[in-house]
Structure 1
Amino acid sequence: MKVLLKGVSREEVRELIALNETPWVSLFLAPHPPGETIQRAIQLENLLRRSEAELEASGYDRDDAHAMLAPVWEMTDARTLEEYQDAGLACYVAPGQFHLYRLPHRVSDAVIVGRRPFIKPLLMPRPATDSFYVLALSKSRVRLLHATPSGITAVPLPDAPAGIDDLPQTDPTGRQAQRHVAPSTRGGASGAMYPGHGGNIYDEKAEVQRYLQAVSNAVERALSRARDPLVLAGVDYMVSMYRALNGYAHVIDTHISGSPDHVNDEALGERGAHVLMTHRSRLATDERDRFEALLQYNPPRASTNLRSILPAAHAGRVARLLVASDRQMWGRYNPDDETISLHDEPLPGDDDLLDIAAQQTLLHGGEAVAVPATDIPGSNGVAAVFRY
């Protein structure tokens, strides 16, 4: 059994769809409020009975169907379901296979029995504010915060300086020294100086860079296994300097502007969520604009026609695919002669051809994302950018 607590990587999805077992039961269970575990267990039992009935209708032996679904039947115990009370669940079952994913987004109760696993719910983007970090930067202190649906917590940075004054100073010869502020002179400004070296003016910019480099190194170590987005907070020049030194791969390109010193953790989390939502919205708009430009000025490189996209996906020509998470296109596709049959309602042996296009795109190294149909150019619930 494979259980993932926070969504699923594209590599995990590729491994799932590369399995050759058949048939597959893809079962999705919506989260329930606390205190409704028994109702959720009953709903899971209903989905399992429906799964067994569909397996039997497709010619599968009743006892074999029940045995195949045994790992999911074990989950109908209310105490077992309590562990997953607040999460949407995706269960994938085939002979000798059981994969359980805890999803970071809502799903509706559903079951799909077919020759392949139904993967679109695994391709939905995580909510923009589901889990992210905020790094609050100032000369006086640094805070790394982790925001999740259950609240915001501080992430320890034991290797980071407490502030710029906590950073060991280095004089122009490379030896440690203490800086002090020189008194101002007529016509001149006061400044930090190194004692005993002829009044060398302390280079504040270099010192800030050294401070931010130490912070960046500490953040990179603390988040070495993380993939959540990181929102920076600070005055603009410090954020700009930090970006040039940053070693964490998931820093977003907008930030919370202004000194964070007098902003509490909860307020920083709220501002970070707003920045992330705006960032995601802009990315979606930019992608739609790029796609529509391809359709207009370079039509061979893009399409919203499933009859063109399915053969291209099977041939490995699709670089990026958007499919509707809230729509199915039931039918059959024959890759030998590239014929497509579409049906208003699913018939025995049908697949959601949007899901098949996504599977083939992933198997050939492309990207596939499931989003609401309203976020996809055109009206067909599918859009592809071709490699060539």
Structure 2
Amino acid sequence: MATITKQELQDLESIRNVHCISIYMPTHQKGEEVLQQEDAKLLKNHLKEVKLKLEQEPLGKREISELIAPIQELIHDGEFWRHQSNGLALFLTNGIVKKYTLPISFKPFNHVANSLYLTPLLPMFTGDDSFFLLWLQLEKVKLYKKTRYYSSEIQIEDKIPSRMEERVGYDYEQKSLQFRSQQEGHGAAAFHGHGEADRDRKNEIERYFSALDRGLMTLIQNESKPLIIACQDYLFPIYQKVNTYKYLLADHISFDPTETDESKLRELAWKKLSPVFDKERLEKIEIFKKFDGTSRTSSDIEQIIPAAILGKIDSLFIQKNEDIWGIYEPEKDLVRVDKELLPSNVSLLNRAAMKTFLNGGKVYLLEKEDMPNPFSKINALYRY
């Protein structure tokens, strides 16, 4: 799966050419859609639309065919379609072809202009939504750094005891067989009816988790990212007791130890963590509303474009699936708004979004009803 970095995004944003083609589409990893080649058919339809747009330009059929050939070839590339994720972004201009298979589903969209349309990629970069996930079993422990869309494993083998028996120092297998058969399917009720044996077992797990915590802290103690645990229910309160990491989430992912699907884990984690990461966006919206109508905010594209280019925007809110077309003339500091996309103009929303992001501001794509000022397609909160 291809990833895309901020530097790549900056390189794509800097491209200016007479014919820049951007295509976004949802894709599938498995199922009937893959068997029926639905994704390839969707790309074929996109290319038909792109051809119609290019025919409005002073281009001959041969020139158009040569320009779109690298994407045309993908339609019949079975190997390419067998390795898709949730979404596909394609960028094409003379001499440049970029293909990104990404874990974000896009609304089908294509764009032909003198620059690439990159705003749909920004949700992958909005905010620092990274977190740690600890996959916790008595026999195996893994630590991941994740975002909503990406995951990478952090190597911890040399920092922690690899298995519980290394820590508790007794015949682990013999004593744990009966316990494991009791705890399967019982969650937190695993410790019951065995008195002192249960207490001993619980203490052994606690000692093991304490050793894990000490090892993990050598790696993450100076971090401030949330940590979420994926484990069986009965293990979580034991780990909570010995944990020393300040940002441990009070909730956990109830997890079957035989389940190893990392994408499912990331999905479950995000459901629990999204309210945490939404907090910053909601706070920015409240600040905008507080200062709406003052010099701290604007909903006027003619003011926002120069401010975005100069790096004056703290947070930018853009209405999803909408656009404003026009031209910015930096020499005159003039923004011209047009009624439609023309060969000579660009998406002003895309320009504002990319300049804000590349200058360190936050960009949020929102539904109309979630916009701070829903009477405008774009709202800007300026830096202090």
Give 1:232's aligned amino acid.
Answer: I
Alignment correspondent of 1:15? 11
User: C-alpha separation between the residues in 2 aligned to 1:19 and 1:271?
Assistant: 37
**Which blocks of at least 5 consecutive residues in structure 1 are unaligned?**
170-191, 193-203, 221-227, 246-251
Distance in 2 (alpha carbons) for counterparts of 1:281 and 1:356: 29
Query: For residues 332 and 132 of structure 1, what CA distance do their matches in structure 2 show?
Result: 40
In structure 2, the partner of 1:115 is 114
Letter of the 1:244 partner, please give it: Y
Rounded Cα–Cα distance in structure 1 between residues aligned with 2:107 and 2:382: 32
Q: How far did 1:359 drift? A: 1.8
Deviations 1:253-300 (A, max 9, x none): 525359x7x954549987874552242134324422333224415843
* 1:305 corresponding residue in structure 2: 300
Code of the residue aligned with 1:231 in structure 2: it is I
CA distance in 2, matches of 1:240, 1:376: 42
Q: CA deviation at 1:96?
A: 1.0
Partner of 2:25: 29
Give the gaps of 5 or more residues in structure 2: 170-199
- Alpha-carbon RMSD across the aligned residues, in angstroms, is 4.4
**In the TM superposition, what is the alpha-carbon distance from 1:315 to its structure 2 partner?**
1.4
Q: Is residue 212 from structure 1 mapped to residue 213 from structure 2 by the alignment?
A: yes
Contact 1:361 1:368 in 2 (8 A): yes
Give a deviation string over 1:337-383, Cα, whole Å, max 9, x none: 34334344433433222111012223434343434444432212333
Relative to structure 1, is the Cα distance of residues 266 and 211 closer, same or farther in structure 2, using a 3 angstrom cutoff?
closer
Matched, 1:232 2:229: yes
Task: Calculate the TM-score normalised by the size of structure 1.
Answer: 0.68
Q: Do the aligned residues in 2 keep the contact of 1:295 with 1:301 (CA within 8 Å)?
A: no
Residue 287 of structure 2: aligned partner: 293
Q: Aligned to 2:365, what secondary structure does the other structure show?
A: strand
CA deviation map 1:288-340 (0-9, x unaligned): 23332244158433334333321100112123323233222233333333433
CA distance in 2, matches of 1:68, 1:22: 12
User: For residue 245 of structure 2, what is the amino acid of its counterpart?
Assistant: A
Counterparts in 2 of 1:328 and 1:90: CA distance versus 1, 3 Å = same
Partner in structure 2 of residue 100 of structure 1? 99
Q: How many residues end up aligned between the 2 structures? A: 329
Structure 2 residue identity aligned to 1:57: Q
How far 1:135 moved relative to its partner?
1.4
Shift of the alpha carbon at 1:141?
A: 5.0
When Rg is computed on C-alpha atoms for both structures, the one with the higher figure is 1
Higher helix share: 2
CA shift, 1:59, in A, is 2.2
In the other structure, the counterpart of 2:245 is 244
Over 3 Å counting, the alpha-carbon distance change for 1:271 and 1:55 in structure 2 is closer
Counterpart of 1:177 in structure 2 is none
Match of 1:337 in 2: 332
12-21 or 57-66, which deviates more? 57-66
One-letter amino acid matched to 1:321: L
Describe how 1:68-87 pairs up with structure 2 within 5 A: 68-87=67-86
CA distance in 2, matches of 1:88, 1:372: 20
Question: For the structure 1 residues 348 and 21, does the alpha-carbon distance in structure 2 shift closer, same or farther, using more than 3 Å as the test?
Answer: closer
Q: CA deviation at 1:242?
A: 4.4
SS of equivalent residue, structure 1 residue 108: coil
**Contact 1:323–1:371 under 8 Å retained in 2:** yes
Kept in 1, the 8 Å contact 2:85–2:101? The answer is no
Aligned equivalents of 1:144, 1:91: Cα separation in 2: 35
Aligned to 1:188: none
Q: Deviations over 1:139-186 (max 9, x none)?
A: x5553387999xx9x9996443145652499xxxxxxxxxxxxxxxxx
Q: TM-score, normalization: structure 2?
A: 0.68
Say whether residues 1:377 and 2:372 are aligned partners: yes
Tell me how far 1:116 sits from its aligned partner: 0.8
User: Which has the larger displacement, 274-283 or 86-95?
Assistant: 274-283
Q: Is the 8 A contact 1:121 1:325 kept in 2?
A: no
1:283 equivalent in structure 2: 277
CA contact (8 A) 2:227 2:249 kept: no
Given candidates 137, 142, 149, the residue that maps to 1:144 is: 142
- Farther off after superposition, 96-105 or 65-74: 65-74
Q: Distance in 2 between matches of 1:21 and 1:11?
A: 19
Contact 1:330-1:350 within 8 A present in 2 as well: yes
Give the fraction of aligned pairs with identical amino acids, expressed as a percent: 20
Task: For residue 245 of structure 2, give the secondary structure of its aligned residue in structure 1.
Answer: helix
Q: Identify which range, 66-75 or 270-279, moves more after superposition.
A: 270-279
1:29 touches 1:109 (CA, 8 Å); kept in 2? yes
- Matching of residues 164-203 of structure 1 within 5 Å: 166-167=166-167
- What is the distance in 1 between the residues matched to 2:266 and 2:101? 25
Please list the CA deviations of residues 72-108 of structure 1 after superposition, one character each: whole Å capped at 9, or x if unmatched.
1110115244234554211100111111111212223
Read off the aligned partner of 2:290 and give its amino acid letter: Q
Distance 2:2 2:53 in 1: 30
Residue 249 of structure 1 is matched in structure 2 by none
Change (3 A) 1:57 1:243: farther
The 2-side partners of 1:80 and 1:263 are apart by 33
Matched, 1:364 2:359: yes
